[in-house]
Amino acid sequence: MHPYSLIPLLAAVVAAMTGASILTRDSSNRGHRLMAAIFGCTSYWSLLEFLSSSQAEPTWVPWMLRLSSIGWMPLGALCLHLFLELVGETSSWLRRRCLPFL
pLDDT (tens digit per residue) in 44-102: 999 999 998 888 888 888 898 899 998 899 998 899 888 888 877 656 666 667 666 65
- Answer whether 39's CB lies under 8 Å from 22's CB: yes
With 0-12 / 13-18 / 19 or more C-beta atoms within 10 angstroms meaning exposed / middle / buried, residue 80 is middle
Domain ranges (residues) in the chain: 3-101
Nearest to 88 by CA among 30, 47, 38: 30
Q: pTM of the prediction? A: 0.83
